[in-house]
Amino acid sequence: MASVPGTAADRRRLAHGLPPLREADARAIGRFVEAAWAEHGLARQSQDAYRRDLEQFARWRDGAGGGLEGADRATLFDYLAWRHAHGYQPRSNARLRASLRAFYAHLVRLGVRADDPAALLDPPRLPRSLPKALTESQVEALLAAPDVDTPEGLRDRAMLELMYAAGLRVSELVGLPANAVNLRQGVVRVLGKGGKERLVPLGEESQDWLERYLAQARPRLAGGKPVPADAAGNVPLFLTSARRAPTRQAYWQSIKRHAAAAGIDPRTATPHGLRHSFATHLLNRGADLRVLQLLLGHASLSTTQIYTLVARQHLQRLHARHHPRG
């Protein structure tokens, strides 16, 4: 394989320069993704991640030795070594290992292969990274940044308020259908990872901004026309001027703009940063960990427990700053 530079931009160029995906590999990947959805209810984002990982490996392999289905253990190790040499991050490689293990276990179950070449691919040891949360004053500044005299600004304010009030993932937020919010009861119905549904209460502020958005901004963004349903048959709650739901990427960019206007480092003001802020601020104010698990939609309490480390660090800083013997 030819050596290529390892920056993110170079890897994007590499992806366009790799050989086209062979038909046999494309079929194998398609069957696997369909089976993962049918058997395990795999979320769309996870399906897309599996597909990207396997397609890139298949292109790198370029049909050698029977293509994707014929790869042996040595080839998998060679590919991982190649990625390491070209600057792929540990988390990206960990996700790749998960994709490969799931794909080859699927082939073994189907009887396509008798052995599993990915069985001994141990995940890399990842550094434990703590969520980066905004301070409460930073969140207030970010929420106040959109120009609410415009329909787009009022929409952005309502989205920011809802994300912070309910701790939503960005994919959950932009994908909310219009009937997901019940302002009379003060709850939002969220469809999370794996198709799991949860009800999250709303605060008065987020309800107020949602009411203003629905009464003032949404009709203007819709242009007085009926809003078309998406592929799943849902009418989106939040709209662009094209009467469609905002994309995750577009919403990310809008947060960066509002963060810059509020004097906040855009690298810390991210959609996931707002979700982290929601969780951290609740814990700092005494919320129960299991309640937080339900609000965030975490399948396992161990996923939620990382926030206790953030809260503990906050308490340690307060102790050091204010205690006579801190």
- Catalytic, 298? Answer yes
**Residues 97-103: contacts with CB within 8 Å, 24+ apart?**
97/121, 97/122, 97/123, 97/124, 98/123, 99/49, 99/50, 99/53, 99/54, 100/53, 100/54, 100/57, 100/76, 102/32, 102/36, 102/50, 103/29, 103/32, 103/50, 103/54, 103/68
Catalytic position from the list 91, 267, 272, 319: 272
Identify which of 286, 274, 283 has the alpha carbon closest to the alpha carbon of residue 310: 283
Element spanning 198, H or E? strand 197-201
Catalytic position from the list 132, 244, 298, 314: 298
- Catalytic, 88? Answer no
Catalytic position from the list 31, 193, 198, 257: 193
- Catalytic, 319? Answer no
Catalytic position from the list 106, 157, 275, 276: 275
- Catalytic, 193? Answer yes
Identify which of 175, 132, 68 has the alpha carbon closest to the alpha carbon of residue 269: 132
Catalytic position from the list 169, 218, 258, 281: 169
Catalytic position from the list 50, 164, 251, 307: 307
Say how far apart CA 71 and CA 104 lie, in whole Å.
Answer: 10
Q: Give the active site residues.
A: 169, 193, 272, 275, 298, 307
